[in-house]
Structure formats: structure tokens, C-alpha cells
Amino acid sequence: MFMISMQNPIMYGAYGGIGVSNELIIHFYYERFNLPDEYSIIIDDKKQTLNSEFSKNHQLIREIKASITMNLNTAKAIHGWLGNYIKQLEEMNRT
């Protein structure tokens, strides 16, 4: 039986490596821009936007949404599972 208690965040990337206990550590992140201090919009007489600009501190933020640690056998199993679905997606995209 599976107990499901989770959110479904969108992930844009991952990074990680091998931990001190010889386990694979993966951090999944979501990318977003922070809210700018200022946002300027120049409009004409017809209320059409001519130009818009964020303040200089507007930057990309990578927010870690999930981290997992797994042993070698689990990593191999997930690698095979993902590989099968990747192949299916590639075949679907060819048609």
C-alpha cells in the first residue's frame, strides 16, 4: 500500500553527487525570477506598451523543492525505469 502525501512541483533541473556514505544525493530545483523592486512601463497615447523594464536586481532564483538520497541498487533501478520511459517518449516524438 502506498501512502501519498506530497505536492507535485514542477522541476527544471537537478544537481548532486556522491555523499560521504557512498549514496547518491540529488537536489531537484525550480527556477523563477524574484520580484523586482521596480518595474517601468512606457505607454503611448493609445495605451500601447512602447517599452518595459525591470530594476537591475531582477534575477533568476533556483529554489530546491526536493532532495533525495539513494543507494546504488535503487539508483540503478530508477535509471532503468526512467530509461524505458525516455525511449517511449522519443518514439512518440518521432511520429
The answer as to whether 54 is a domain residue is yes
- Domain span at residue 24? 13-94
| Number of domains, the chain | 1
Q: Does residue 41 or residue 61 have the better pLDDT?
A: 61
The answer as to whether 7 is a domain residue is no
pLDDT of residue 77: 97
* Helices and strands in the chain: count of H runs, count of E runs: 1, 5
**Residue closest to 19 by CA, chosen among 78, 67, 66:** 67
Q: What percent of the chain has pLDDT over 90?
A: 54
The whole-model pTM stands at 0.65
Mean pLDDT value across residues 40-62: 80
Instruction: Convert the pLDDT of each residue in 15-44 to its tens digit.
Output: 999 999 999 999 999 998 888 777 788 888
pLDDT of residue 52: 77
- What are the angstrom distances between the C-alpha of 81 and each of 3, 8, 85? 21, 19, 7
pLDDT of residue 64: 93
